[in-house]
Structure 1
Amino acid sequence: GWNNYAFDDKFIEHRVRQLHSYLDFWHSIQKVDLMLEYKSVIRGASYSLNAVAKAEGIGEKLSRPPDISSMPKSELRDYNIQDADLVRLIDQKYAFTHLRYELQSLTGVLINDASPSRWHDNLIIRRARELMHVLPTVQPRKDRPELKGAFVLEPKPGIHENVAVFDINSLYPNIVIHERIDHPHFRGQLIPAITRQLLESRAKYKAEYKSTNSPSAYIKQYAYKILANSLYGVLTMPWFRLYHPEIGNSITGKGRSIIQSLISYVRSFGLEVLYADTDSVFVYPISNFKHADWLMRKINSYLYPYSVKFEKLYTRILFIGDEKGGRKKRYAGLTTDGQIDVKGLELIRGDWSELAKEVQSRIIKMVLHNRPQSEIESYLSEIKSKLYAGQLDDKLILAKHITKRLSEYKANQPHVRAARILTERYNVDERAIAVIEYVMATTPESVFPIAAGWDRAKQVIDRKWYWTHQVKPVADRILRAAFLTSKPKPKQTKLL
């Protein structure tokens, strides 16, 4: 289903209980919420079925009146069939259900009860049985020690050229294997053996996929990848059967040592590491692919038994500092084949307008293609003029999900105010509002819902708000980093 955990399943179970029948049958059905599966792999502003179907180019929902009970049965049937078809087509494209069943086949955990801790619990039980070992019972601990994280080398904000990215192959799983990190009771016979089997199986099906392009082989290798990469997180959970406080810190400690050693080795060639995070390093200047391949072979000889792979080469890359002091990676890079990668800068929330997203994308492209600052400022001046003239109104609509009853919202956020306007002034049933579209406005509530009339909305749009709170902040953040024009704000020493 789509959002069935939050809606359909609860409704059906309520009806089943009312009818006093088929409850056991209902509970025996395996259920997957494909909206949650989609959210785990695709970042987007809206995850409504209609928005996703449109974004994927597979169709859209049929229209319906606010009161669905007033629909003729034939129209209601067609409406539901269309919804089911859209969900089926999304699942066909991404093979979510196929992957779930593959994980069930590998671990023995039903898709209804799937979680990394359950997957690995079953794998460990199987392996322990082969070794004739008895596993301890699950005993959740409250005294979880502090877990020191991965090593991060902060980048220098600004434009850099000829930057190559190298990733350490399956860093944490390989640390478990090569350092024989295990629960003290098993002395390297359990967790390293399971991890090695997962990586070897993945390599087998990955090679098969490359040679045959088989969808089945791709799903299998991806399932093994998920299991191998989720093992570290499971080992740090106090409620996991084989949890031990030293295991997590042993893995991350070795990981920090490896990447710091890698950075020192790269610098010994007169190269610089621009940025590093967990298992990735950004090295410059790397002039071409031959140079990158040479460095990769040198690193692999040095790091053995660990290894790196050369991921890509950026001709130009823009790093933007984290203004909140965090460690989130924020960059945009132009690859040698003309593609632009954007990380940590995506404006994916529904309270970012299409105009803000468009401006950010355009400025990033201009910066990476080395356009002069004067040209970018001219573009922004044109955008500002069109915005204030009302020529960009259709790109100012904001959209947010309503996830609970309006009375349950403690904060009076803009999308909540917009929904309340519909219910209080236009007699719209709040149960019919799944996604609210609105604009920031010059009205007392500072918002106006689109459903109340687009012509009316255009008359009250607060265009100054969009410039000062959306377009200008997006542009300033990129331009400060690209042209290093930022200056620290002086501290206020007296009242104006």
Structure 2
Amino acid sequence: MSLSKHQGFILTRHWRDTPSGSEIEYWLATDSGPLKVLLTAQTSVAFVESRHRAAVQAQLSARSDVELRELELKSFQQEPVLGIYAKHFRQLGRLARALQPLGVSLLEADVRPHERYLMERFITAGVMLEGGRIENSTLVNCKLQPAPDFRPVLKVVSLDIETSQHQDLYSIALDGMAERVVFMLGEPPTEHMQPPGFQLIYCPTRQAMIEHLNEWFARNDPDVIIGWNVIQFDLHVLQKAADGCATPLLLGRERKPIAWRTHPGKQGYLFAPMPGRAVIDGIEALRAAVWSFPSFSLENVAQELLGEGKDIGSEYDKMAEIERRYQHDKPALAIYNIRDCELVLRIFEKAKLLQFAMERAHATGLQLDHFGGSIAAFSHHYLPRMHRMGYVAPNVGDVQGKSSPGGYVMDSKPGFYDSVVVLDYKSLYPSIIRTFLVDPVGLTEGLHAHGPARFIKGPRGTLFSREKHCLPEIVTTLWHARDEAKRARNEPLSQALKLVMNSFAGVLGASECRFFNPDLISAITLRGHEMVKLTREFVEKRGYEAIYGDTDSIFIWLKRTHTNEEAHAVAAELARDINAWWKQTLLEEQDLESFLEIEFDTHYKKFFMPTIRGSDVGSKKRYAGLSVDAAGNEAMIYRGLEMARSDWTPLARQFQEGLLSRVFQGAPYREFVIEYTYSTLSGKKDDLLIYRKRLRHRLDAYVTHVPPQVRAARIADEYNIRIKRPTQYQNGGWIQYVMTKSGPEPLEARQSPIDYEHYLAKQIQPIADSILHPLGEDFATLTSSQQTLF
């Protein structure tokens, strides 16, 4: 490879201490293939307040490889700091632990070398490489600079395995690259015919399967491994199979093993880092991109996104059929196995999950397959800018206290309405940060202000510097980048930037963040409260009525029926006037430029705000409406109601949708209520009676309070044990059950007749009355005249 400038995308990153110092390793995807970059003899740095010099020197008296330097930096307490430069990163951790009993804090000692190297150079995912030397196909000691526009084509493999009910490995499928293959345990049949479209390779032992898999990865060399629950199940089972036959599983580049580690906060949750290859789980990627499904099973997501799924039914049917195919029809099992790989590839393509992951890495500075990490993303952006402002960061826990109030939720006015418009503040919290210069450094400057310097007054007596701040500029950069992404119709980038930008306010309210400060986050959320209240006053002075508001939205009743064109015009005029009022008010009163922008969101031709069940008080975060867009297209919208919640039965959701749509459309609804009730009691809707709920704990953890889903799960697993089938629910999971005369019973072991009265009283009637009462009717009266039918 030429040593001239070269661009790459960071796939994985790692550090290690060596005799010559800390060493940083990056694996990159480039246009000419994968590239390993090694930066040797890197010095690690932390900081300490200068007043602790003697204590630090006492700890370092016998060490010549750690140096103290005077720096033009200070702590958030305005104390000057010293830089501690160590040959090995682990030395900083040992020093921090030694100083802790003395009450001395080592600042930023937890920032790992490979992260600090990137953040201090403002590098996120794309890099420009310059100089260096080639040693054994590795680029050593080159210079890295940001390359924010570089987007390589990544080589992706979809991996899926099939196992017995006891997780004995049967087959491994690999799809997405030229060499599509299934490795199958067993001898080939006498008449061995290859299935169409992929290669089926029979392996006499599991050891042979693992060896074939290792060779496939070395030969095909993918950048990214994708799958469904691919780390917690597929890779974990492969590792156990490899360990069981004393054969190394070498899926990383350079035939390196997986460096397994567990999540410190999630028991049993695994990470599977490996050199040079990112591992992206489809479920986690969808959740990170804010997709929502009642179930994230591959079958359900494939049905909803692609309109098709697999060819095996329930979990029990699936295991029995897999066993049958393995014993009697291995080619059919191979087809089923690679079909899963294909579905995952198509879901990734449909939802643009790989593009989203890449754009998120560019936006956050986090590794491609790191989907959490809002705090880490904040630090990646903030620390280098804060250093250039002359500050070093505090440690986690330096500031104590309770977090701030959340978003403002206005008391609602329940009932049915015509012509309701919704105005929504665009990126409310980021716009508050930009407008009022909310910032950790800015607050520190305000806390220690002396003299007549001008500051911005915030809630709870806070003061923010007008001159020294970092976060408003960071948010502004992300904001402009998102506007550009939207203009370019780059939806994955736009979504990634939006999520990152909006997460920064929440990070400041997280006690796990080094910049946590209740006053800081309150300066954002309480300002939001004030804005919604002032907006309410503004619209009511115009003669309209605010019937609800939630964090960044306000629901305005126009007081009389408007045509769709009239409602859209009123909403646009209100938004324009509110924005102009903010600009004028903030400029005149506080000499601030307003970045607050309210915009028209929705016109509801019909709108319903229910009461809290069993009271006359209006509910919050629960409503329904018949929306109409500018072109006149109508759509039913449900928020927070049973219709939109997965823990209610389909019976309840269908009933609520049917009743509300009839009321909104002015169609006969009494007959619908009566007929729906009759159909339920007569057994015509039995397929809608299924509860589907999640068991969030181990089954034996429920002692004092045993909810219906737990009772059903215990019945199911007792049944599984009786028929010598593996238990399904001991460690949690999802259970489907119905309510019977004998209580909750699982679908797979139901014996008692259905308790229709339960569904009438607990599912249909509460929903019916919440809608009928504002209309002057109730469920009991409406159905009592039909009792003879029931």
Whether TM-score is above 0.5 comes out as yes
User: Structure 2: which amino acid aligns with 1:343?
Assistant: R
Which residue of the partner structure matches residue 600 of structure 2?
A: 310
Task: Call closer, same or farther: CA 1:326–1:417 in 2, change over 3 Å.
Answer: farther
How many angstroms does 1:349 deviate by?
5.5
Counterpart CA distance in 2 for 1:363 and 1:317 is 13
Please list every run of 5 or more consecutive structure 1 residues that lacks an aligned counterpart in the other structure. Answer: 210-216, 487-496
How many angstroms does 1:311 deviate by?
0.9
Which residue of the partner structure matches residue 286 of structure 2?
A: 38
Counterpart CA distance in 2 for 1:359 and 1:327 is 20
Task: Call closer, same or farther: CA 1:408–1:347 in 2, change over 3 Å.
Answer: farther
Report matched runs for 1:210-249 at 5 Å: 217-249=490-522
Counterpart CA distance in 2 for 1:326 and 1:263 is 17
User: Structure 1: which amino acid aligns with 2:543?
Assistant: G
Are 1:52 and 2:301 an aligned pair?
A: yes
3-state SS, counterpart of residue 56 of structure 1: helix
How many angstroms does 1:254 deviate by?
1.6
Task: Call closer, same or farther: CA 1:124–1:482 in 2, change over 3 Å.
Answer: farther
Q: Assess if the C-alpha contact under 8 Å between 2:375 and 2:513 holds in 1.
A: yes
Q: Assess if the C-alpha contact under 8 Å between 2:414 and 2:619 holds in 1.
A: no
Counterpart CA distance in 2 for 1:481 and 1:14 is 61
Q: Assess if the C-alpha contact under 8 Å between 2:544 and 2:556 holds in 1.
A: yes
How many angstroms does 1:70 deviate by?
5.2
Are 1:88 and 2:345 an aligned pair?
A: yes
2:738 is matched with which residue: 433, 439, 457? 439
3-state SS, counterpart of residue 460 of structure 1: coil
Higher alpha-carbon deviation: 247-256 or 65-74: 65-74
Q: Assess if the C-alpha contact under 8 Å between 2:305 and 2:350 holds in 1.
A: no
Task: Call closer, same or farther: CA 1:475–1:90 in 2, change over 3 Å.
Answer: farther
Q: Assess if the C-alpha contact under 8 Å between 1:441 and 1:448 holds in 2.
A: no
Are 1:198 and 2:430 an aligned pair?
A: no
How many angstroms does 1:363 deviate by?
0.7
2:320 is matched with which residue: 50, 66, 70? 66
Task: Call closer, same or farther: CA 1:296–1:228 in 2, change over 3 Å.
Answer: same
Report matched runs for 1:385-424 at 5 Å: 385-400=678-693, 406-407=699-700, 410=703, 411=706, 413-424=710-721
Counterpart CA distance in 1 for 2:699 and 2:743 is 16
User: Structure 1: which amino acid aligns with 2:301?
Assistant: V
Task: Call closer, same or farther: CA 1:66–1:401 in 2, change over 3 Å.
Answer: farther
1:172 is matched with which residue: 429, 440, 458? 429
Which residue of the partner structure matches residue 427 of structure 1?
A: 724
Q: Assess if the C-alpha contact under 8 Å between 2:412 and 2:620 holds in 1.
A: no
Task: Call closer, same or farther: CA 1:293–1:448 in 2, change over 3 Å.
Answer: closer
Counterpart CA distance in 2 for 1:5 and 1:273 is 49
3-state SS, counterpart of residue 574 of structure 2: helix
Residues 132-179 of structure 1 show CA distances to partners (whole Å, capped at 9, x for unaligned) of 645325322572234123322211111011111111122211111111
How many angstroms does 1:6 deviate by?
4.1
Task: Call closer, same or farther: CA 1:135–1:75 in 2, change over 3 Å.
Answer: farther
Which residue of the partner structure matches residue 355 of structure 1?
A: 651
Higher alpha-carbon deviation: 418-427 or 112-121: 418-427
Higher alpha-carbon deviation: 321-330 or 422-431: 321-330
CA radius of gyration, larger in = 2
Higher alpha-carbon deviation: 358-367 or 119-128: 119-128
3-state SS, counterpart of residue 366 of structure 2: coil
How many angstroms does 1:17 deviate by?
4.7
Higher alpha-carbon deviation: 181-190 or 403-412: 403-412
Say which structure is richer in helix: 1
Higher alpha-carbon deviation: 292-301 or 432-441: 432-441
3-state SS, counterpart of residue 279 of structure 2: coil
How many angstroms does 1:438 deviate by?
3.4
Are 1:25 and 2:277 an aligned pair?
A: no
Counterpart CA distance in 1 for 2:533 and 2:647 is 40
Counterpart CA distance in 2 for 1:383 and 1:327 is 26
Counterpart CA distance in 1 for 2:486 and 2:624 is 29
User: Structure 1: which amino acid aligns with 2:240?
Assistant: H
Report matched runs for 1:260-279 at 5 Å: 260-279=533-552
User: Structure 1: which amino acid aligns with 2:512?
Assistant: W
1:468 is matched with which residue: 733, 753, 761? 761
Q: Assess if the C-alpha contact under 8 Å between 2:400 and 2:517 holds in 1.
A: no
More relative contact order, 1 or 2 (CA 8 Å, 6+ apart): 1
Which residue of the partner structure matches residue 409 of structure 2?
A: 152
Task: Call closer, same or farther: CA 1:298–1:271 in 2, change over 3 Å.
Answer: same
Task: Call closer, same or farther: CA 1:113–1:57 in 2, change over 3 Å.
Answer: closer
Which residue of the partner structure matches residue 339 of structure 1?
A: 635
Q: Assess if the C-alpha contact under 8 Å between 2:548 and 2:555 holds in 1.
A: yes
Task: Call closer, same or farther: CA 1:350–1:307 in 2, change over 3 Å.
Answer: closer
How many angstroms does 1:462 deviate by?
2.2
Say which structure is richer in strand: 2
How many angstroms does 1:314 deviate by?
1.0
Counterpart CA distance in 1 for 2:283 and 2:392 is 36
Higher alpha-carbon deviation: 258-267 or 179-188: 179-188
Counterpart CA distance in 1 for 2:622 and 2:233 is 36
Task: Call closer, same or farther: CA 1:484–1:178 in 2, change over 3 Å.
Answer: farther
Task: Call closer, same or farther: CA 1:242–1:353 in 2, change over 3 Å.
Answer: closer
Counterpart CA distance in 2 for 1:297 and 1:476 is 40
Are 1:116 and 2:374 an aligned pair?
A: yes
User: Structure 2: which amino acid aligns with 1:422?
Assistant: Y
Q: Assess if the C-alpha contact under 8 Å between 1:367 and 1:482 holds in 2.
A: no
Please list every run of 5 or more consecutive structure 2 residues that lacks an aligned counterpart in the other structure. Answer: 1-226, 251-255, 259-272, 313-317, 446-464, 584-593, 780-790
Which residue of the partner structure matches residue 236 of structure 2?
A: 10
How many angstroms does 1:109 deviate by?
0.9
Are 1:280 and 2:280 an aligned pair?
A: no
Counterpart CA distance in 2 for 1:327 and 1:378 is 28
Task: Call closer, same or farther: CA 1:284–1:327 in 2, change over 3 Å.
Answer: closer
Q: Assess if the C-alpha contact under 8 Å between 1:235 and 1:243 holds in 2.
A: yes
Counterpart CA distance in 1 for 2:700 and 2:518 is 43
Task: Call closer, same or farther: CA 1:435–1:237 in 2, change over 3 Å.
Answer: closer
Residues 319-345 of structure 1 show CA distances to partners (whole Å, capped at 9, x for unaligned) of 012339896411111122321111111
Aligned length: 470
How many angstroms does 1:448 deviate by?
4.6
Q: Assess if the C-alpha contact under 8 Å between 1:331 and 1:344 holds in 2.
A: yes
Higher alpha-carbon deviation: 233-242 or 34-43: 34-43
Q: Assess if the C-alpha contact under 8 Å between 2:294 and 2:646 holds in 1.
A: yes
Are 1:330 and 2:622 an aligned pair?
A: yes
Identity rate, percent: 26
Task: Call closer, same or farther: CA 1:284–1:197 in 2, change over 3 Å.
Answer: same
How many angstroms does 1:125 deviate by?
2.8
Higher alpha-carbon deviation: 469-478 or 96-105: 469-478
Task: Call closer, same or farther: CA 1:421–1:376 in 2, change over 3 Å.
Answer: farther
Higher alpha-carbon deviation: 474-483 or 334-343: 474-483
Counterpart CA distance in 1 for 2:569 and 2:424 is 17
How many angstroms does 1:62 deviate by?
2.7
How many angstroms does 1:366 deviate by?
1.2
3-state SS, counterpart of residue 381 of structure 1: helix
Task: Call closer, same or farther: CA 1:349–1:17 in 2, change over 3 Å.
Answer: farther
User: Structure 2: which amino acid aligns with 1:334?
Assistant: L
